[in-house]
Amino acid sequence: MDRRYFLQSGLSALALSPLAKQAAAFADLAPQRVGLIGAGWYGKCDLLRLLQVAPVEVVSVCDVDRKMLEEAGKIISERQSSHKTPRLFGDYRKMLAEKDLDIVLVATPDHWHALPMIEAVKSGAHVYVQKPTSVDIVESQSMLAAARKYNRVVQVGTQRRSTPHLIEAKKQIIDEGKLGKVGMVEVYCYYHMRTRENPPDTAPPEGFDYEMWTGPAPMRPYNKLVHPRSWRAFTEYGNGIVGDMCIHMLDCVRWMLNLGWPDSVSSEGGILVDKASKANISDTQTATFAFGDLPVIWQHRTYGSSPDPKYPWGLTIYGDKGTLRASVNSYDFQPLHGGDAIHRDVVMELDKYPEDNTEKDLEKHVAPAIRGHMLDFLGAIASGNKPIADIEQGHISTASCILANMSMQLGRSLRFNPETHKIEGDDAANQLLRRPYRQPWTHPEPDQV
């Protein structure tokens, strides 16, 4: 298929984006060789969306689970136009040592985002890394430093910025002033997504390198909850529901309202209801991100019902002229003083991409956003501009969420200085900016990448 036609056929997801021309520039770029690190659920979701919008060649895939790795190789050979099976690796360092990749996708558990991303840009590749950027703030700071030092494009998987109906809401509701003065924002998640299981510890399954999977994180006895997918139940590997779900909505609000770093972050909560399961992340948490006189307030609860069944995970922006509710599925604008309400639903593009109908575990309503995010990423590579979810934006949103967890742990509000990357007047809090690494892994430092 002609490259320019292929790319233009995928640009519908960015039709309302000011970066559509940037994505179109990829049509003139040489074919890109792609590698994937982390061949689980979202690794395949991201990679297969990339294959839908650009004639790239997937040449390498890495995962510590041999069964998952081989399954991914088979799927990729069926889906890419060359039908070639990519090379399969169990160690990302060996894959990157080949230095033959233009693009690397990092879709590992959160505790494995920083080191592969840094090594990938060192090897000369541009990187699409899943959110959150990291588990601690210095990791994320080092990722930003590496991207800038090696002059590589790094797109973070906060794809709300590329969600077509949310782009429309930003342009036609917020940018046109229909909300008036915004006084408060709520972001929230009421999904019952925290595991309540309590299975016994066992030996790791055959073909799964649990030592490598654990990597720099503390070594826990193997439990079936950690692989695949349920690892988010443990603070050793991620930042709980704040790091998983709040980052999406907080980042979306920052993008929609053009917000930078919060002036202060405060949070409280804990395990208030489900004290029996093995999970050690909070089941209840509120956090306030103060942007000047604008509070952005997060709440999650893994029990009970959602205040608005239409928006169990989303954001609500309150202005003196109207209110905007938005999620991955829709948005609703309600004017305060007359005028017409506006409602939009996600358009899933299933006719255009029929393989979405049968792809295992694909969130069909999110697929258009991933496609748009990939096109924006490719356009940034071609143009040399920053992508819509540049690593710096991902760093701000990630660090803000980590600060919320630190505030909950310490029981006090925190003021983070983005110039010094220190928390003002709080030595104990500054000790938490960098988590200990398990040997032989070495924690990345921003001045040593």
List the chain domain ranges. 3-161+363-391, 164-350+395-430
pTM for the model: 0.94
Provide the pLDDT for residue 22: 53
- Give the tens place of pLDDT for each residue, 102-111: 999 999 999 9
Q: Are 160 and 369 in contact (CB under 8 A)?
A: yes
Q: Which two tokens stand for residue 193?
A: 């997504």
- The burial class, CB within 10 Å (0-12 / 13-18 / 19+), for 415 is middle
User: Is the Cβ–Cβ distance between 11 and 21 less than 8 Å?
Assistant: no
Q: Which pLDDT score is estimated for 26?
A: 64
Please report, as a single letter, which amino acid is at residue 223.
N
- Alpha carbon of residue 384 to chain centroid: 22
For tokens 């109906």, name the residue: 165
What's the fold here for domain 3-161+363-391? Answer: Rossmann fold (3.40.50)
d(CA 355, CA 112): 30
User: Kindly report the CA angle at 241 between 238 and 243, in degrees rounded to 5?
Assistant: 50
Please give the torsion angle defined by the CA atoms of residues 32, 38, 39 and 45, in that order, rounded to the nearest 10 degrees: -70
> According to the model, what pLDDT value does residue 3 have?
47
* Residue 172 burial (C-beta neighbours within 10 Å; 0-12, 13-18, 19+): middle
Parts of the chain with a pLDDT under 70: 1-28
pLDDT score at 337 = 87
How confident is the model at residue 4, as a pLDDT?
45
CATH 2.40.50.1020 fits 164-350+395-430, yes or no: no
Helix (H, G, I), strand (E, B) or coil at 58: strand
**The pLDDT of residue 23:** 53
Distances (CA, A) of 435 to 238, 402, 410, 442: 12, 12, 15, 11
Gap between the Cα atoms of 251 and 127, Å rounded: 19
